[in-house]
Amino acid sequence: MAESFGTDVERYDRARPEYPAELVARLVAASPGPDFLDVGCGTGIEARQFRAAGRRVLGVDPDARMAAFARRSGIDVEVATFEDWDPAGRTFDAVVAGQAWHWVDPVAGPAKAAAVLRPGGLLAVFAHVFQTPAEVADALAEGIRRVLPGSPFAGESRSAAEIYDVMFTRFADGIRAADGFGDPERWRFAWERSYSREEWLDFLPTTGGLTRLGPDELADVLSGVGAAIDALGGGFVLPYTTLAVVAKPA
């Protein structure tokens, strides 16, 4: 699945949301200098935000298609998994990862981050959490059950908040286990975004449950979700919470 997000890089970059300006500003203020390493940078969404805030950003991503897209916007990217990436003696003021740290080894990743951070630097991993209206969520689950009956995305009973709380607790535990950092902090940023039917159906194919579907299967799922959004009046307001775990070397 990790290698499936680059199948439509233009859609991914267009449809995936940016990160809250408050998060970007807080990380910039907490960093001792301008050099950022963006782990799993993808198409460069957060890298461009940090660059706009005056940071110098190097991206690392295992997908050459994602890396090529990011380079077109001026982001320097090296193709590798973080675990296999060679820093070649380089160090950074911050190591960041947006919507990507769950693909990184939970202990080896923090240990490598600690090794490339300058004194006073920071590791920050962050991701968006959202829960669509029940009608939209139910239509998506029903569609996945129809085209991929064995998929875990079809039978998940936990809320997104519960899933991400477990995930971010694991991130913090991994950082502690790496023995190179002080106690990590947990940050939360609440915001919301309005989606039209077209915007949400543009976003959905970039999510992990759908990136590997064939065209007919995807059209089937999106048709059901689109009908649910139509029944809500053609759009909805989606509350987001952006979670972050932030730690500095001990």
- What residue ranges of the chain have pLDDT lower than 70? 1-6, 151-157
The answer regarding whether domain 5-131+159-193+239-247 maps to CATH 3.40.50.150 reads yes
The model carries a pTM of: 0.92
C-alpha 229/C-alpha 210 separation (Å) is 18
| Residue (of 46, 151, 170) closest to 107 by Cα position | 170
What end-to-end distance do the CA atoms of the chain give, in Å? 34
In this prediction, residue 234 carries a pLDDT of: 98
The answer to whether the beta carbons of residues 36 and 57 sit under 8 Å apart is: yes
User: In 3D, which of 195, 42, 220 has the Cα closest to residue 130?
Assistant: 195
Q: Where are the domains of the chain?
A: 5-131+159-193+239-247
| Helix-then-strand count for the chain, H and E | 10, 7
235-247/92-98 β-pairing: unpaired
What pLDDT was estimated at residue 108? 92
- What does the pLDDT read at residue 163? 86
